[in-house]
Chains A and B, each alone.
Chain A
């Protein structure tokens, strides 16, 4: 641990400390704002980098263990970045009864990742969530805040294909721009 790894050093350098300070300042004087602050940090960075925990602990005058304890207690907080497309498979009761498990399996097969994991290219994450409240449209997969209703394994595979295509197109466009 003493030597630290290269990625950690890189992470430290890239943490936007000024923005973190702004978040902290926003809730100054408010009691028990740690959870709210962490929510804002995650909104800002997409996840809670380990390094930010130490930084927040120092600024908020609490132990890093306390913050780490909160981060790992609540399902909302992530310690690793998510992919560009976060496939949230709803595993609420209604979705379960209507075949959510088959969707998880199809995504797993298609992307070779398990729940909570991200593909190597950083494009897709599969998140298994406990209920998004669209029970009458079950089973549901949410991507980028948009709920896809009445999903089947075939439709979820198609959705992944469409997202991949979209990505390739935009990469193609990017490459073309660079050439010009």
Chain B
């Protein structure tokens, strides 16, 4: 049992962005000032990103208190009142919030995130860390490890959903030496941050997962291919590798056996397509990250043409838990074909955005309303984008769809890597389709004609629609192109790039038609289709909008109602932003 009070501060990228470092520094200063015997620790992301910075206080008696949105003042208050006088600040506690967020969650991959200090291997070991490795190396054969993985039914969490155990079996069986293991941490989906949070919060779980995989497939060297945009994740991974090496979990003769394994970090240089296996391998080999035809699959011919197994960060984080608790335990969660739990990054127009881990099979409605707390500001739910630029948008009518690989694919979306972006009535679906296609178009490596040029032509049509310049029959052309791009592309990027367009066309066609027929954007997003006018009754003639207008389109005498010239207006929205009396109307 712990003897003194422990105070933890969430210090992942999002916690730090919200001011976690200042909170930590204040706590440190105040604790020192009062000479308190309190242990102050950093920890990873617990997932409640919407209420960062988070501070957790553990008393020696075993009570836990969570404080949310802890500013520097609040941090000082917590030390003053709670730590010094033992009077928890009820009004600042978020226990109920936490209950709401966590009641539906089951944390396997995130088991230690937000709990342990990610930079302490001792902390990880206290939670049973590296015990799975010990069990595997000393008591199990590589085949038995693979059998447990197959029994767990774990499917690749990177997006494709291929059975992890099967992938391992193929790589083990493949001829050729040496064999390589690669951890794909090139989380490119804009709007997803599961892998970043796992590495930042529990890097040793990923390393241990890799060690187990390496033992199972017979690899002696591994790479982590991680986004350069995740500097904190890279630092924590480097520290973890160093600590694991010193503790004898990496290197030669691990745990006294003849098993050797080393891990190197390779920083990606910013290319979404490198999330695709063969493109990632090309990048590791120092080339432009362009995919190639499969087969041969990486399991047969991967890095340097040697058998290579590539798994995603979240997949690896699950592995030690599965080996320690048994495949059946994992399989007990989720559905028949989609077993276990899955981490999702919940963001967009949602009250409680953050990182969640839920059993597969839970409905989208439960995620949005029970875990996520619904839409803020009393707005109406419109759709939820699953799987990022490769996924699709699921409308309200399908909110009861269970989250498993097969059911989600039936809606036209994919589970993907786990990004979930919630949209409300102020989101324009045509604009969203344009946004995702613009992304895919930028990231297309250019190898396949359909992906390179097809997405460009599709994007041009979408831009014309959002500008009110397209003809009605262009929707059919858009659909036709979308199907051809899917058909004529080599890799997952091109094959899935049209999904956002196809799903919005399927579920929100009337919104496209309003843009085309009436030249209006119902969500008031597409600038070129908006009309700004001034409500004469509400206008006080303060002149703020006149000063902010870049084209002198607003005119009027001081203290009298102003007007906007539609000929001069460039629809920048400055007047709307500037007006303090809600006198500028948009239609």
Task: Show the binding face of A for B, using Cβ within 8 Å.
Answer: 31-36, 38-39, 69-70, 73-77, 91-94, 96-98, 102, 105, 109, 129-138, 140, 145-147, 149, 153-154
A12 shortest CB reach to chain B, Å: 25
Residues in B with CB closer than 8 Å to A33 are 286
Q: Decide if B228 is an interface residue (CB 8 Å cutoff).
A: yes
How many chain B residues touch A (CB < 8 A): the figure is: 55
Partner of A73, one of B16, B193, B271, B304: B271
Given contacts A35-B286, A70-B288, A97-B423, contact A134 B17 (CB under 8 A): yes
Known: A131-B192, A132-B229. 19 other contacts (CB 8 A): A33-B286, A35-B266, A36-B266, A73-B288, A93-B190, A93-B421, A94-B347, A97-B423, A98-B348, A98-B349, A129-B229, A130-B272, A134-B193, A135-B191, A135-B192, A137-B49, A138-B347, A147-B16, A149-B18
Roughly how many angstroms separate A27 CA and B16 CA in the complex, as a whole number?
33
Interface string of B184-200 (1 = CB under 8 A from A): 00011111110010000
B234 shortest CB reach to chain A, Å: 11
Residues in B with CB closer than 8 Å to A35 are 266-267, 269, 283, 286
Q: Decide if B577 is an interface residue (CB 8 Å cutoff).
A: yes
Given contacts A74-B270, A105-B572, contact A135 B193 (CB under 8 A): yes
Interface string of B166-191 (1 = CB under 8 A from A): 00000000000000000000011111
B45 shortest CB reach to chain A, Å: 10
Residues in A with CB closer than 8 Å to B267 are 35-36, 39
Q: Decide if B57 is an interface residue (CB 8 Å cutoff).
A: no
Residues in B with CB closer than 8 Å to A147 are 13, 16-17
Roughly how many angstroms separate A129 CA and B230 CA in the complex, as a whole number?
13
Partner of A133, one of B18, B50, B196: B196
Residues in A with CB closer than 8 Å to B49 are 134-137
Roughly how many angstroms separate A75 CA and B421 CA in the complex, as a whole number?
24
Residues in B with CB closer than 8 Å to A97 are 348-349, 421, 423, 427, 432
The 4 closest A-B pairs by CB, nearest first: A32-B286, A93-B191, A136-B49, A74-B269
Q: Decide if B354 is an interface residue (CB 8 Å cutoff).
A: yes
Residues in A with CB closer than 8 Å to B18 are 137, 149
Given contacts A73-B271, A109-B550, A137-B14, contact A32 B191 (CB under 8 A): no
Roughly how many angstroms separate A97 CA and B348 CA in the complex, as a whole number?
6
Residues in B with CB closer than 8 Å to A136 are 14, 49-50, 52, 347, 353-354
Chain A, residue nearest B423 (CB): A97
Residues in A with CB closer than 8 Å to B192 are 131, 135
For window 267-286 of chain B, which residues contact chain A by CB distance below 8 Å?
267, 269-272, 283-286
Residues in B with CB closer than 8 Å to A36 are 266-267
Q: Could you list 17 examples of A-B contacts with CB < 8 Å?
A: A31-B286, A31-B304, A33-B286, A39-B228, A76-B270, A92-B190, A92-B191, A93-B190, A93-B419, A96-B435, A97-B423, A102-B573, A129-B229, A133-B14, A133-B196, A133-B229, A136-B14
B400 shortest CB reach to chain A, Å: 23
Roughly how many angstroms separate A105 CA and B548 CA in the complex, as a whole number?
13
Task: Show the binding face of B for A, using Cβ within 8 Å.
Answer: 13-14, 16-18, 49-50, 52, 187-193, 196, 228-231, 266-267, 269-272, 283-289, 304, 345, 347-349, 353-354, 385, 388, 419, 421, 423, 427, 432, 435-436, 439, 445, 550, 572-573, 577
Given contacts A135-B193, A137-B17, contact A94 B348 (CB under 8 A): yes
A148 shortest CB reach to chain B, Å: 8
Whether the Cβ atoms of B385 and A74 lie closer than 8 Å is no
Roughly how many angstroms separate A138 CA and B231 CA in the complex, as a whole number?
19
A140 shortest CB reach to chain B, Å: 7
Whether the Cβ atoms of A93 and B348 lie closer than 8 Å is yes
Chain A, residue nearest B389 (CB): A93
Roughly how many angstroms separate A146 CA and B18 CA in the complex, as a whole number?
10
Whether the Cβ atoms of B435 and A77 lie closer than 8 Å is no
Residues in A with CB closer than 8 Å to B283 are 35
Residues in A with CB closer than 8 Å to B288 are 69-70, 73-74
Given contacts A39-B269, A97-B349, contact A34 B14 (CB under 8 A): no
A31 shortest CB reach to chain B, Å: 7
B242 shortest CB reach to chain A, Å: 18
Whether the Cβ atoms of A75 and B270 lie closer than 8 Å is yes
A26 shortest CB reach to chain B, Å: 14
Roughly how many angstroms separate A32 CA and B266 CA in the complex, as a whole number?
11
Chain A, residue nearest B353 (CB): A136
A13 shortest CB reach to chain B, Å: 28
Residues in B with CB closer than 8 Å to A69 are 288
Residues in A with CB closer than 8 Å to B423 are 97
Residues in B with CB closer than 8 Å to A132 are 13, 229
Chain A, residue nearest B194 (CB): A133
Roughly how many angstroms separate A76 CA and B266 CA in the complex, as a whole number?
14
Whether the Cβ atoms of A73 and B289 lie closer than 8 Å is yes
Residues in A with CB closer than 8 Å to B577 are 102, 153-154
Roughly how many angstroms separate A149 CA and B69 CA in the complex, as a whole number?
13
Partner of A130, one of B14, B188, B285, B353: B188
Residues in B with CB closer than 8 Å to A31 are 285-286, 304
Residues in A with CB closer than 8 Å to B13 are 132-134, 147
Chain A, residue nearest B230 (CB): A133
Chain A, residue nearest B431 (CB): A96
Roughly how many angstroms separate A37 CA and B519 CA in the complex, as a whole number?
51
Roughly how many angstroms separate A167 CA and B461 CA in the complex, as a whole number?
44
Residues in A with CB closer than 8 Å to B353 are 94, 135-136
Roughly how many angstroms separate A117 CA and B240 CA in the complex, as a whole number?
38
Roughly how many angstroms separate A56 CA and B432 CA in the complex, as a whole number?
42
Roughly how many angstroms separate A133 CA and B191 CA in the complex, as a whole number?
7
Roughly how many angstroms separate A109 CA and B419 CA in the complex, as a whole number?
32
A60 shortest CB reach to chain B, Å: 10
Whether the Cβ atoms of B550 and A134 lie closer than 8 Å is no
Roughly how many angstroms separate A75 CA and B192 CA in the complex, as a whole number?
19
B169 shortest CB reach to chain A, Å: 28
Roughly how many angstroms separate A153 CA and B572 CA in the complex, as a whole number?
12
Roughly how many angstroms separate A160 CA and B188 CA in the complex, as a whole number?
29
Whether the Cβ atoms of A32 and B284 lie closer than 8 Å is yes
Chain B, residue nearest A105 (CB): B572
Residues in A with CB closer than 8 Å to B52 are 136-137
Residues in A with CB closer than 8 Å to B271 are 73-75
B202 shortest CB reach to chain A, Å: 16
Roughly how many angstroms separate A134 CA and B423 CA in the complex, as a whole number?
17
A161 shortest CB reach to chain B, Å: 15
Which interface residue of A32, A136, A138, A140 has the most chain B CB atoms within 10 A?
Answer: A136
Partner of B388, one of A74, A93, A129: A93
Partner of A75, one of B17, B193, B269, B432: B269
Roughly how many angstroms separate A147 CA and B572 CA in the complex, as a whole number?
26
